[in-house]
Chain A
Amino acid sequence: GENVEQHPSTLSVQEGDSAVIKCTYSDSASNYFPWYKQELGKRPQLIIDIRSNVGEKKDQRIAVTLNKTAKHFSLHITETQPEDSAVYFCAASKGGANNLFFGTGTRLTVIP
């Protein structure tokens, strides 16, 4: 099955700086890559996703890039704020009836 690796496991940045989280996947057939944010004690929430027919997608301060050749994708958060502090999970799926495989998460801390 699919194997998703995520780095780093922890990340601390100063407020206002950028944060980058990287994931790699093993199955070249994967074509759907969502990112989830999980605040302490809360449910994971979808923040952005990308499909394999595009290389980059932006939503305000959040962007995701995808390199299909290298089989990696990244989450970029600019102008970080304390409320961005959470655990972020990447995931990959072959789409359709296939389930999501998650990375092990990155704990982001934004220092005021």
Chain B
Amino acid sequence: KAGVTQTPRYLIKTRGQQVTLSCSPISGHRSVSWYQQTPGQGLQFLFEYFSETQRNKGNFPGRFSGRQFSNSRSEMNVSTLELGDSALYLCASRPQVGGRSGGYTFGSGTRLTVV
């Protein structure tokens, strides 16, 4: 069973640009969450999608957005990049939302560097 796949693994962008990151969840998993990981702040929740609908949203500015497709694949977009957006962006999937849905399975992440 393939794990959570994130592309690209590494990305370098300049300030002001925008970026799109992709995540393919484990087959059968319908929930996809995105986290930003930085050395000082740990794992910060961005948003979670289930059945193409955003179910939860963290405290990030509107420059951070996402979406989920009918095949459960998800993308997140960051517009007008700032230096502080440099981080490891982790995607995680779980089978469902609700009930005893259990823990997340994480992807390897996309390391974004803004210069």
Contacts and interface: CB of A to CB of B under 8 A. Distances in A.
Interface of A: 32, 34, 36, 42-46, 49, 51, 89, 91, 95-105
Contacts of A43: 4, 90, 106-109
Interface string B89-100: 010000001111
B105 interface: yes
19 contacts: A32-B103, A34-B104, A42-B108, A43-B108, A44-B106, A96-B97, A96-B101, A97-B97, A97-B98, A99-B33, A100-B33, A100-B45, A100-B104, A101-B45, A102-B35, A102-B44, A104-B41, A105-B42, A105-B43
B56 interface: yes
A104 B58 CA distance: 16
B55 interface: yes
Given A49-B103, A96-B101, A89 B56 contact: no
Given A97-B97, A97-B98, A99-B58, 4 more contacts: A36-B103, A36-B106, A100-B45, A102-B45
A91 B42 CA distance: 11
B61 interface: no
B102 interface: yes
Given A96-B97, A99-B33, A49 B102 contact: yes
Contacts of B75: none
A97 B55 contact: yes
Contacts of B101: 95-96
Lowest 3 A-B CB distances belong to which pairs? Answer: A102-B43, A104-B42, A34-B103
A73 to B, nearest CB: 14
Interface in B20-79: 33, 35, 41-45, 48, 50, 55-56, 58
B103 A99 contact: no
A96 B107 contact: no
B42 A96 contact: no
Contact of A97 (B45, B56, B104): B56
